[in-house]
Structure 1
Amino acid sequence: MRFVSAQTRDDPAEKPFLGLLEDDQVHPIPQFREVAAALAAEADLGQLAAEARSGTSLPLSALRLLAPIQPPAMRDCMCFHEHIRNCRPGTFDPKHQKFPAFYISNHNAVIGPEDPVQIPPGCQTFDYELEVCAVLGRELRNPTPEEARAAIAGYTLYIDWSARDLQMEEMTLGLGPAKGKDSATTLGPHFITADELEPRRAGKGFDLHMRASVNGRPVTDGNWKTINWDFGDVIAYAGRGTTLSAGEVLGSGTVGGGCLLEHERTGSGAFSGWLQPGDTVDLDVELLGTLSQTVVEGLPRHPLSSGH
């Protein structure tokens, strides 16, 4: 099953609604706005889908798509070791093989597939990161990897828009990333239930291509199956000794070659500069969908009392 959050294009003031997507038609589920709300209410997605099919439908082309999930919390992990090696040539820390490191991201910065992407104030080296994410279907506390895996409701694309200069500056102090990562995270375009991907399971992930281009120039050509941590381990580690809520999102981290920083660090010909206002970034994960987003000028940077 595939679900979207949408509103009609001819009425931008209309209340957004959850919808079941089938054959370019969307069957509205008006009692919920997006997937996380339905999961938090312990709604059965299969039952919602069955009820929606018996009602009306709208053409997908008539709708503006929003983020299909507004999560109560987000964590972003480092599960593709190729990405780590590319970003830090010659300095791979073996602890990455012991546990999937993560940071807590800004769930209030989620944007949808049709939203412009603002460059953060003061950023000169703006980047994208092509990822996927798992969405929890129920509350978990201190789960085993098996319990965690069974609690995954589904998946969507996760695009971690990154201010590299801000990120590097703050991480020299031993904390972060903070302002380098909290300006925008795209989720969407669709939420797809976990059972839909099972026929493509391979290794610790799925045999699904992950690609990205900037202004039509190919940059990323990866595959989910190259991931080094299974989402069961990721969720079990994130939930160790704490509670995770229904609808929470856990990002995979960047697929190998999935950002400009990797290509800049490795001297790849795919790097032709950092993202600028007016650039279009096309991102695709097989079966999960395609995004095309435009980078725009950001808000002004207001100096602190220090002048920074």
Structure 2
Amino acid sequence: MTGRTGLRTGVLDAGGDCIYGLEAGVTLLGLLERDALSEAGRSALHNPAEVVGMRDVALAPPIPRPPTFRDFMSFETHLQNSAKAMSLDVPQVWYREPAFYFSNPAAMLGPNDPVKRPPGTVALDYELEVAAVVSRSGSDLTPEQAEDHIAGYVVLCDWSARDFQRQEIPLTMGPSKSKDFATSLSGFLVTPDELADSMSAGRHNLRMTAEVNGRLCSEGNLSDLHWSFAEMIATASRNTTVLPGDIIGSGTVGSGCLLELSGLHGTDAYPFLVPGDRVCLDVAGIGVINAEICDSDVAFPLWNTEPSSEIL
């Protein structure tokens, strides 16, 4: 959170009205690195350095600069709908193991921060996701071991320039400038114990919704994951090391973006985002992102992109 005394870390009370703050200089990432999250939480609630009202703070991303950000594609319906919208076949390798790409750790935004539309794009999109935050280091983890490496969850929006993305796909190097300009996170890390009642068969039964200008556009459930977060983290750790604070995105829930909805119902029914639009993503029990789209302060395209009417 950012309050009168600068960037601080704290614990939200049960009523959601106040934040019990820790000492200046304490960060959530630092607590994870020291395996001190639980102890710090108890300390904040029983002996806070300050207590501030929610109305008096601006929420920063819980991990403003994660060591890495991997975004997976773990919802089958999203894969199927997106492939259809972009005239591609569903790759069968997806069913053999979780797939991800690396995105930009330096582009994290808080839940209410405005999102600048990249110059040159005419196809700005949201993506309704949840992310797990890694609690401690681990290598070559099994899914069972990886389950114990989850510090908690946040809502994630992987903002996407679909016209840029279409140009990048043939290069076979994964998304780059279509994705790296902004990623929004909800304001609080929700620990697994807070969501225990929603867990069944390794999945959380949590409703996910997205609204644009107050209109419900996307609706899904976190339980629809084909690959669990434990399986994603285990894959991420293979032949390398996951670190405290690493962000592991679920990928988009089915129907959780305008690319899918436009492909199913047409771009007139679900137009891409423009400055002035407000996007609200809500995952029950985890959090909310409520962001306004605005124009970039850069007056020229970042690359030679000609707007195309053949985005889908």
Could you tell me the TM-score, scaled by structure 2's length? 0.90
Match of 2:11 among 20, 44, 50: 20
Distance 1:79 1:253 in 2: 6
Distance 2:265 2:305 in 1: 35
1:141–1:241 CA contact under 8 A, matched in 2: yes
Match of 1:51 among 32, 43, 46: 43
The residue aligned with 1:167 is: 165
Equivalent residue of 2:189, what SS? strand
Distance 2:168 2:300 in 1: 16
Distance 1:213 1:270 in 2: 16
The residue aligned with 2:234 is: 236
1:204–1:229 CA contact under 8 A, matched in 2: no
Match of 2:62 among 58, 62, 68: 68
Amino acid at match of 1:237: T
Match of 1:274 among 272, 275, 299: 272
Does 2:30 align with 1:37?
A: yes
- Over residues 276-299 of structure 1, what are the superposed CA-to-partner deviations in whole Å (9 max), with x where a residue is unaligned? 000000110001122211000123
Aligned residues: 297
Closer, same or farther in 2 for the Cα pair 1:307/1:7, shift >3 Å?
A: closer
Closer, same or farther in 2 for the Cα pair 1:52/1:96, shift >3 Å?
A: same
Q: Output the aligned Cα RMSD.
A: 1.9
1:32–1:38 CA contact under 8 A, matched in 2: no
- Over residues 223-263 of structure 1, what are the superposed CA-to-partner deviations in whole Å (9 max), with x where a residue is unaligned? 00011001111011111000111110100000001000001
Closer, same or farther in 2 for the Cα pair 1:239/1:254, shift >3 Å?
A: same
Distance 1:174 1:52 in 2: 47
- Aligned counterparts, 1:126-141, within 5 A: 126-141=124-139
The residue aligned with 1:86 is: 81
Distance 1:251 1:207 in 2: 17
Greater Cα offset, 213-222 or 194-203: 194-203
Amino acid at match of 2:169: M
Distance 2:305 2:158 in 1: 28
Greater Cα offset, 213-222 or 193-202: 193-202
Closer, same or farther in 2 for the Cα pair 1:268/1:206, shift >3 Å?
A: farther
1:218–1:270 CA contact under 8 A, matched in 2: no
- Over residues 130-168 of structure 1, what are the superposed CA-to-partner deviations in whole Å (9 max), with x where a residue is unaligned? 100011110111111111111111000111000101111
Distance 2:300 2:267 in 1: 32
Q: Unpaired runs of 5+ in structure 2?
A: 307-312
Q: Unpaired runs of 5+ in structure 1?
A: 1-5
Equivalent residue of 1:167, what SS? helix
Closer, same or farther in 2 for the Cα pair 1:195/1:203, shift >3 Å?
A: same
2:127–2:160 CA contact under 8 A, matched in 1: yes
- Aligned counterparts, 1:1-308, within 5 A: 6-8=1-3, 11=4, 14-22=5-13, 23=15, 24-43=17-36, 45-53=37-45, 54-55=47-48, 56-70=50-64, 71-89=66-84, 91-267=89-265, 271-298=269-296, 299-302=298-301
Equivalent residue of 2:59, what SS? strand
2:119–2:302 CA contact under 8 A, matched in 1: no
Distance 1:283 1:301 in 2: 30
Could you tell me the TM-score, scaled by structure 1's length? 0.91
